[in-house]
């Protein structure tokens, strides 16, 4: 029999007839994905030139030691399923690959997909490959050249010759048993069957399925094997140690549920064909950089600089938006592939961005960051009272805070805020900043000045206090002033409108003598301030 392009016809017909016959909704559930060295040993007991002494009787017994090459499976040969899912076991020697399974169902097929790399090997096209006929989990895989479908009363093995799928001559050694209600399977497949007579391959990728009749993913699954992306939240990748001296520890967590099985093809896309593991060279000589989108942030403006991490030279990083405020326009990205790109035209609300790193056919699991943009708001200030004769009663009022998210708080020093306080009294003359902040932390800064009337000056040309100058008149556009001598004569006058708000200490073009002079400042709002000026030469 042959497999027509992209379709394992005879294999599918067997599955379909099985489904029709049993009237069950069978689902193939992924329980392990392994990418590992073959040129190096998987464990000490499976090194080159060593025969693995497994007792293949259909009972998967687990021994207690690594590297002893007993009849039992060793702990580092176990790939434990997630939350009660099927557990798989894997080992090999120069002659065979050995596969074990606990749980699952012996009356339904175990489906094994292999990519074996060897001289002259050919592989299926990676587009629209769907061997199982149920779910196109493998449409993005980097080619397969061996498939096995095994159960206790039937088996079928096929290899790909570059054009067709051909049934192999057999030679596999399979055993099944039931141990306390748990189905067990042990299987040995000669390498020559997998590689069409070419012996042990240089490297191997393998996917195990178990057909179940429950219509879902019981307990979820895990996917195992070396991954350039690591296994957890650490900065460094975890690449399995397949050198014959210790356990393979790299494991990629995964899983599925009846409610959402989309995680399966996503995980497979990230693992299968992502990179070749060549004998003696881990991860093809490089370790992938796990994407980091940067910390969540809150901003008050419309612009932000992203804080993703830099990909390695072989990879490309990409930003995506997966959530944005309802009704908002797409913000402007400076460069979607730049980890520290600038974004503009952000609107108030919550954005969620992902940063992913893609090594060819090896996309990462994206990292996510949340950006909250506060709403713009504004306010104004009004000086509502000049200082009294003692210069201690200036007052200011914050008017009309609008926008943002109330309640508002204010501060004169940018450190000590008071919620709801919109007026400050007893302010000395001088320049001030008042800070207005909304409940989300967005802030604006407003400047104002309390009227300052100097009480003395020294017009001696030294550049220090050489003029008497009124300041803080912005709130009093009609303000005027007059200065009188001790005997009541008018010495000098001016107004804000005329632009004259200073006195240089001269009278009729000549220096006025040292003395006390008197001023009257009319603010034009019914407020008049009087006081003395001391002129010192």
Distance of alpha carbon 435 from the chain centroid: 34
Question: Rounded CA gap, 30 and 42, in Å?
Answer: 22
Distance of alpha carbon 33 from the chain centroid: 25
Q: How many CB atoms lie within 10 A of CB 15?
A: 21
435 preceded by a cis bond (ω within 30 of 0): no
Question: Rounded CA gap, 105 and 24, in Å?
Answer: 14
Question: Rounded CA gap, 292 and 257, in Å?
Answer: 27
Distance of alpha carbon 406 from the chain centroid: 31
End-to-end CA distance of the chain: 116
Going 267 to 190 to 3 to 217, the CA torsion angle's sign is negative
For 420, residues 6+ apart whose C-beta sits below 8 A from its C-beta are: 407, 408, 409
Q: What are the residues facing 351 on neighbouring strands?
A: 371
Distance of alpha carbon 290 from the chain centroid: 10
Residue 12 in contact with residue 18, Cβ under 8 Å? no
Instruction: List the pLDDT tens digit at each of the 537 positions of the chain.
Output: 333 333 333 333 323 333 333 333 333 333 333 333 333 333 333 556 778 889 999 999 998 787 788 899 988 777 666 556 678 787 888 888 889 989 878 888 787 878 787 889 888 765 344 444 444 444 445 567 888 889 999 898 988 888 888 888 878 999 999 999 999 999 999 999 999 999 888 766 677 767 655 444 333 333 333 444 443 333 343 333 333 333 333 333 333 333 444 344 444 444 444 433 322 223 333 456 778 999 999 988 889 999 999 987 767 899 999 999 999 999 998 899 999 999 999 998 999 999 998 766 556 778 999 999 988 888 888 887 776 665 567 888 888 888 888 899 999 998 999 998 888 988 888 889 999 988 888 888 998 888 888 889 999 989 899 999 998 888 888 999 999 998 889 999 999 888 889 999 999 989 999 999 999 999 887 788 888 999 998
What is the CA angle 32-37-39, rounded to 5? Answer: 145
Distance of alpha carbon 348 from the chain centroid: 21
pLDDT at 358: 78
Question: Rounded CA gap, 471 and 502, in Å?
Answer: 9
- Token pair 């009257």 is found at 520
- Which tokens in the block code for residue 55? 């007792």
Q: What are the residues facing 531 on neighbouring strands?
A: 519
Rounded to the nearest 5°, which phi and psi values hold at 293? -80, -5
- Which tokens in the block code for residue 406? 């109330």
């Amino acid at each position: 029999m042959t497999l027509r392009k992209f379709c394992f016809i005879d294999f599918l017909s067997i599955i379909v007839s099985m489904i029709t016959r049993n009237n069950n909704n069978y689902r193939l559930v992924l329980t392990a994905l392994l990418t590992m060295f073959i040129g190096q040993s998987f464990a000490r007991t499976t090194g080159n030139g060593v025969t693995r002494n497994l007792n293949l009787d259909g009972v998967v017994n687990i021994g207690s030691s690594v590297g002893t090459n007993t009849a039992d499976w060793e702990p580092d040969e176990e790939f434990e399923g997630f939350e009660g899912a099927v557990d798989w076991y894997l080992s090999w020697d120069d002659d065979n690959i050995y596969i074990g399974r606990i749980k699952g169902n012996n009356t339904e097929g175990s489906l094994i997909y292999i990519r074996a790399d060897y001289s002259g090997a050919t592989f299926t096209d990676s587009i629209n490959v769907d061997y199982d006929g149920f779910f196109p989990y493998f449409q993005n895989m980097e080619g397969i050249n061996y498939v096995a479908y095994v159960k206790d009363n039937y088996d079928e093995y096929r290899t790909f010759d570059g054009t067709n799928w051909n049934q192999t001559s057999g030679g596999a050694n399979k055993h099944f048993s039931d141990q306390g209600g748990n189905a067990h399977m042990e299987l040995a497949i000669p390498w020559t069957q997998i590689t069409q007579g070419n012996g042990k391959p240089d490297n191997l990728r393998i996917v195990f399925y178990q057909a179940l009749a429950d219509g879902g993913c019981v307990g979820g699954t895990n996917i195992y094997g070396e991954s350039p992306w690591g296994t957890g939240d650490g900065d460094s990748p975890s690449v399995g140690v397949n050198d014959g001296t210790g356990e393979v520890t790299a494991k990629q967590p995964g899983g599925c549920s009846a409610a959402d099985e989309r995680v399966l093809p996503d995980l497979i896309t990230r693992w299968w064909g992502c990179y070749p593991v060549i004998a003696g060279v881990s991860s093809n000589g490089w370790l992938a950089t796990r994407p980091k989108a940067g910390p969540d942030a809150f901003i008050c403006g419309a612009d932000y600089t992203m804080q993703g991490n830099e990909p390695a030279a072989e990879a490309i990083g990409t930003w995506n938006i997966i959530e944005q405020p309802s009704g908002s326009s797409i913000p402007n990205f400076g460069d979607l592939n730049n980890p520290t790109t600038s974004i503009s035209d952000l609107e108030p609300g919550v954005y969620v961005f992902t940063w992913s790193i893609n090594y060819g056919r090896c996309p990462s699991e994206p990292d996510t960051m949340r950006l909250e943009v506060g709403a713009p708001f504004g306010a104004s200030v009004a000086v509502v009272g000049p200082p009294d004769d003692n210069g201690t009663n200036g007052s200011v009022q914050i008017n009309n805070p609008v926008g943002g998210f109330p309640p508002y708080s204010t501060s004169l020093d940018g450190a000590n805020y008071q919620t709801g306080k919109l007026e400050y009294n007893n302010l000395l003359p001088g320049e001030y900043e008042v800070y207005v902040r909304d409940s989300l932390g967005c802030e604006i800064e407003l400047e104002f000045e309390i009227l300052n009337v100097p009480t003395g000056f020294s017009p001696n040309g030294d550049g220090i206090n050489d003029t008497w100058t009124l300041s803080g008149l912005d709130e009093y556009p009609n303000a005027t002033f007059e200065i009188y001598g001790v005997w009541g004569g008018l010495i000098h006058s001016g107004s804000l409108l005329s632009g004259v708000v200073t006195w240089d200490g001269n009278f009729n073009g000549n220096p006025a003598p040292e003395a006390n002079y008197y001023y009257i400042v009319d603010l034009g709002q019914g407020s008049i301030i009087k006081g003395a000026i001391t002129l010192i030469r």
